[in-house]
Structure 1
Amino acid sequence: MTGFELAAIKAALEANKPILGVCRGLQLLNVYFGGTLYQDLSLTSSQIKHLQSPTPQEVPTHHISVEKESSLGFLPENYMVNSFHHQVIKDLGQGLQAIAHGNDGLVEAIENKEKHVLAVQWHPECTWETENFDKKIFEIFANGDI
């Protein structure tokens, strides 16, 4: 986490601006709020391949379950997401709620509704053209509905 990233998060929070984190953005937000990370997936018991190469980035490769009362409650049950990361949340930061989990139990999305923070571990920017639900993530952010 760089000083610039910390300053950007702090400035957005102080200005009461919504924050949408994607992949590393989820990890940065978790650490900013005092959480910790597994530095590598090999330190977890996950059997899901989170580095989906050679599968194209726009192809979903594993399921997640989403809390229905969350900002992502519009996602269908057992939603499929893409995945290419090697770090994951270990301990959740203060004030954050885990709102989606993979079938391996790992956190796939977090939020803090009071501070207008939403973050996902997958990459909806790669699938928004083909996955209307991923497109809606950007729409709720743009509309300030986080």
Structure 2
Amino acid sequence: MKFEDSKYSKLLSYKKVEFSFGTLYETEYFLLSELNEGIHVDHHIASELISRFSDLILRGHKIGYIANRYNSYSFDPQLWVDFNNDYDAFIASAIVTYSDFSYLNASLEKQFFSKSLKRCDNLEQAIEWIMNLKEFKKDTNQN
């Protein structure tokens, strides 16, 4: 299921950002990617994403990341290591898988991500998990 077809697109305020390789949605608590079929996420694409969201990343805002992988594409897992070493923006990540192969890839990526990474069967599970992280609960109690 695509984010805009989910109930959360009506419940959450978000910004839609389109790239040649896919679409990202920015909410208060998470970035959600829906990337195009057949692409390979490499340093070039990662650099474009970091550049677009650099103010969010550099100002120390803590956020979750959801990869909604309803399309099949490849991902260089080394990017998780590089990102973790250079930035501290993501508190956790969720990967929504729609096939056994996608689940296996997410399992491999989990080995490279130094923070919590949850493999989910559907978009609702991923969003609920991210929204209920204790880091976000603490933030809402301070306001």
TM-score normalised by L of structure 2: 0.25
| Relative contact order higher in (CA < 8 Å, ≥ 6 apart) | 1
